[in-house]
A and B are shown apart, each in its own frame.
Chain A
Amino acid sequence: MPKGYLSIVLHAHLPYVRHPEHAFSLEERWFYEALSECYIPLIWTIEKLFQDDIDFKLTVSLSPPLLCMLDDTFLQERYIRHLEGMLELCEKEVRRTRGTPFEPVAEMYQYRYRGVYDTFCRRYQRNLLTAFKAFQDSGSVEVITSAATHGYLPLMMEYPEAARAQVAVGVRTYQRYFGQKPRGIWLPECAYAPGIDDILKEQGIQYFFTDSHGILFSDRRPRYGIFAPIYCPTGVAAFGRDIESSKQVWSAKEGYPGDFDYREYYRDIGFDLNFDYVRPHIHPEGIRIHTGLKYHRITGAKTHHKEPYVPEWAESKIDIHAANFVFNREHQVEYLARHMDRPPMIVAPYDAELFGHWWFEGPRWLELLMRKVAQSDQLEMMTPGVYLDRHRCNQVATPCTSSWGDQGYHDVWLGNSNHWIYRHLHWSAGEMVKLARDYPQADGMLNRALTQAARELLLAQSSDWAFIMATDTMVDYANKRTKRHLANFKGIWHQIRENRIEPEWISSLEQRDNIFPELDYQVYA
């Protein structure tokens, strides 16, 4: 009998970025890089565990924009062009680095990118949703959903219909791709406020996650702290993030990803190599960008001198770090189990994009971690769904309003740089609700216009834009995306209210902002 449970939760999300109007889009590279570096390596990790018959459990939330992007034929096509460019670059690099200390790394990348190409094009026929569907059906991976466009729900609660639409569209999108209802949801930015659980309940969601203080600061002191879920008065369960296990993976200083033998993220051949040589693989306007080929290891703290990456050294560190993580969790549950009358549940949620992109070795670490836990007699991998099946009796309390952002509340999404968006988002949400109620059974062009208005509103609500504004990088893009979707919404609103819909314009918007092909605007009624 294990003493405690470990629940690893990976939250995969990217904002909906798709620019058919540009021949080259830097922003689309977010998606391509995440596919090559995170999502496909994660698929490999899970496949290897299945191949070796390892008993494991993993929770993965795939945000609805990500589901739609994975299913989008235009982006699939462009990703293949991107991969072809990468394979070409890898080949040139293997030739260029022959006989140098970088040769093994260049070969490693070539091998990887060939694997990525094979996985994407041949094995999954361009659609990775097939992989996640199979994982979900296996029972080892609990795939859950998120809000429609990753809208920041607590700041929408003045217009509960808008928050409800975010959740409902998230649930429907999940159903469309996975053929069943999601048991759980990843609330965007882990952001909860009382009342959100009413919406989750209504949509049939059984659980969500909060940051540690979301549970610890509940209106009733939680008996088990964050080591057991609580039920909201609605009956929806809330799981709290464990502090200690988060830190070991996240912390830039003490966390594993900062190990000197791991790959250095900031040295990329896009910046390092001769301009004319990398020119075909950077921005068409000749601006140097990250190519994804990074040949150095971190080497040391605060040093600009970087040594070549040695895959074998990294591999041995991954093994040490996976063992260390398991050792610490065993230690943790041993302590906790002495005080608890049920196995403690340690919930460790992470951004999926951390693994592979920022922490290159992350997917392999996950694999080794799962293998080691399978051999542990103290730990058992767990998903929130299975936990709730086993432990039905839980304390009832209302979690505290919280997020996993800086300061733990809404500061990041409602600060000096981004507060201006809310008056516009709120107005649009209010008007969308009125439109849905005024036109309960629209068809033809009016239906299409109303549906597109809903899409534009949802896209404007992505928490990513407010976050980017707050972090002061790429602000221009976030501002433009917010303003464009708001302007589109308002334009459609005028056309509907003034009875002068321009079909060509609506069509062009449908093609450009084509998220949620089966959206029903009545979700706002």
Chain B
Amino acid sequence: MPVVLWAIAIGLIFLAVAVFLWPRIRAQAKPGLKQSRRHDFGMEAAEEISIPAYYKTPEHIPDPPSKYGQDRLVLLARNPNWLYAYWEVSAARQENILQELDGLSPWEESRPVLRLYDVTGVEGFNGSNANSFVDIPIQDCTDNWNIKVGQPNCTFCLDLGRVLPGGRFITVLRSNFVATPRATISDRIDEEWMWLDGIYRSFTRYQSGLSSPTLIEEIRGRMDLPQGISSPTLSESRKGD
């Protein structure tokens, strides 16, 4: 008997909970018109032409392969402060590295690292003439990495390599060179194209939440800086003083 009573009691509790929660569940399931509300990006793309997300493809589409059998280390600049790299080490190159390591150190004792070189202004980079470099420890299982550099308008090169217990570095792959974009107004002024102060001042009149959120701040900051340069309007007004 007690078992039956317990069962009934539990059943009632479930029922009560279900009755209580039902409106919420329904509310969540209801296809709200606002759900397709414009994405949060500050970007100014037109609203995507409306279309709900239940596309069904009857055919099987294979995932792309994880490896192509090629040695590649590609470095891309995402923005003035971040780089992104992906790589693939071919079986042949892996074999080479094992041979190179042979006699120096067992594979397990070497650690995989990304060595990021600042090669801004360096000509004929050879691995040892960079302005500076940093090592970023990674795991063997990964094949891509986001790298924070925080250095706009600089040039970088990346090595995927292994550090041996004694500190020796062996390069497995070397990347292309990549330059981070500028994030500021240039200080280089053309004598025959002197910048016009009044034009730049016009930008600071407008608050902007547009796709260049830092732009207004940047210009505003520049305007407040003591300018070590003359522009026609500035020099004119100074003359007037």
Contact = CB atoms under 8 A, between A and B. Distances in A.
B1 interface: no
B39 A408 contact: no
Contacts of A50: none
A223 B192 CA distance: 9
B210 A247 contact: yes
Interface in B18-41: 31, 33-34, 36-39, 41
Contact of B50 (A33, A219, A224): A33
A335 B202 contact: yes
Nearest to B208: A243
Given A223-B195, A287-B52, A419 B84 contact: yes
B24 to A, nearest CB: 18
A146 B57 CA distance: 30
Interface stretch (A72-80, A309-317, A448-456, A469-477): A469-477
Nearest to A416: B146
A221 B189 contact: yes
Contact of A224 (B33, B48, B199, B214): B199
Q: For the side of the interface on B, what is the size category?
A: 35 or more
B186 A217 contact: yes
A505 to B, nearest CB: 13
B33 A271 contact: yes
A153 interface: no
A81 B39 CA distance: 31
Interface in A104-161: 155, 158
Interface stretch (A83-91, A172-180, A208-216, A378-386): A208-216
Contacts of B188: 219-221
Nearest to A155: B76
Interface stretch (B4-12, B58-66, B100-108): B58-66
B202 A336 contact: yes
A250 B216 CA distance: 17
Given A221-B185, A422-B86, A487-B64, A358 B37 contact: no
A180 B43 CA distance: 33
A88 to B, nearest CB: 20
Contacts of B31: 271, 288
Contacts of B65: 490
A48 interface: no
B224 to A, nearest CB: 16
B181 A476 contact: no
Contacts of A3: none
B222 to A, nearest CB: 10
A474 B55 contact: yes
Given A266-B33, A358-B46, A426 B74 contact: yes
Contact of B53 (A252, A352, A475): A475
Given A404-B211, A427-B68, A487-B62, A224 B46 contact: no
Interface of B: 31, 33-34, 36-39, 41-55, 57, 61-65, 68, 70, 72, 74, 76-80, 84, 86, 88, 144, 176, 179, 181-190, 193-200, 202-203, 206, 208-216, 219, 233
12 contacts: A29-B51, A213-B215, A217-B183, A223-B194, A224-B199, A358-B46, A358-B47, A405-B43, A414-B84, A471-B41, A480-B61, A486-B64
Q: Please name the 7 residue pairs, one residue from A and one from B, whose CB atoms are nearest each other, closest first.
A: A339-B198, A401-B181, A409-B79, A351-B46, A354-B46, A30-B49, A358-B47
Given A211-B211, A405-B211, A427-B70, 16 more contacts: A26-B52, A29-B51, A158-B74, A213-B215, A219-B182, A219-B186, A222-B193, A225-B203, A243-B206, A243-B212, A251-B209, A271-B33, A395-B190, A473-B48, A473-B53, A476-B55
